[in-house]
Structure 1
């Protein structure tokens, strides 16, 4: 979808905000992926039949207790719920280990969307959630639903050796069902959103760049590429920015932003933790994301809203 220079500039500002550092020194990765937010948003906004599936959920076996992390489900649920106000139906996809957290996030995000007037976009208030560990079955479900775009949010994928690794370089293949295969399982346009180099979509970046930028980069880099890549300081931010950018391109940014308020984010985060989610950095149940203090998180959300 063509965008006016003013809208393109707003989306460029959004991208710079989401690429702010959150502790991993991702600057070189962010610079290499710059422009990905506009490209991904334009692909969704410009398709009159757009229907988005957000694939999310990162299980953390090191956590106490082992559980799905807060980064990913919170942003994906809010983005899915808010896109209805831009005329884009959306749904969520996750695996069985992360299902309870993603469902809880979806329900709370749906409540925020309903309050903002987006409930008509769904059969109920919340975006539908597909759960499965076998990508072939999920691909058939998404095809039947009319999905045209698949967006991976903080979803880990395998390296060139087929092994999925976390940020510590640990092998987590056994607790990460191969939902990365959805990237090539249908005729949809794909977008990857990540913050560390080991997420689906990062295969678009040169191996040497990831190796030189993040700890254990030569081992953890996900080799799965997507049509578009959004690198963010925290993956949740990238998902929210994508929804806002689609809203900008469709003339519905204010409506979308109403669903993505700091209060709604806090409510969805609290619901996710109530369902068992953990902070992926702290490794424990906490209403935080990647160890970021709540005040810093709120400041970032306000900065995103200020762009639109």
Structure 2
């Protein structure tokens, strides 16, 4: 069975006993402890030894960082120490992190904050000012940076007991909610399906309505009336005022200029061979310049009319 792997990060010589106590506690919980001095990190020959420590963090679940008064070995890849770089690596990999700082160092850190920039101060607990600078960096992180001061290894053990017990209790609670979550997910999936169905039916209805409108427009009484009145030998088709205007222009008609507001008719005029003709179309046949859909039963003969005026005032047929 898989065990949670816990990486223990700290300087070695000054915290050797603390590391041993924490290792024992980790194993008592049934977890796997990962410590450099115990050979838990496989080293190769391709790169620097410290890089294998950083790579191993990718394979653990938890990192426990213990910060004491010694800076430790400097990293060859960054200005930090190796243990500090291990902690930064865990942050970058979004691992669960627990940070413990020696109480004396942490108290001195507050003094450091009040005297930053003063190079004449000698610190008692930290052997390198970079320790305080690193604590400042950790405190400035937006999350996953809970810090707990300690005096003895038991302080660390007791804190981890509480934390890991809380994690386990939260896990049990989440397990009891799995059924509720599945129900909610089922409702969400159903709602998604219904939304897709509504969208499909809406689009289908829209397409159906468009198809019906196109069918009705193809045999619109207005087109048949214009074809008949003007004796056009081919099929007439228009769906807007502009298309009708273009058609009539092809037959020598010109639309009335500056029609009166709210006039009931649109008028087109033509004059050939001393014969003046006027084609009148009821304005309500167009809505926003688009031809209204009408059936033959709804059509009235006076919707479109042709008036012919000869030079002597006599009506006659069009001369074509």
Greater percentage in strand: 2
Name the TM-score, length of structure 1 as normaliser: 0.35
TM-score under structure 2 normalisation?
0.34
The higher relative CO (CA closer than 8 Å, separation ≥ 6) is in 1
Greater C-alpha Rg: 2
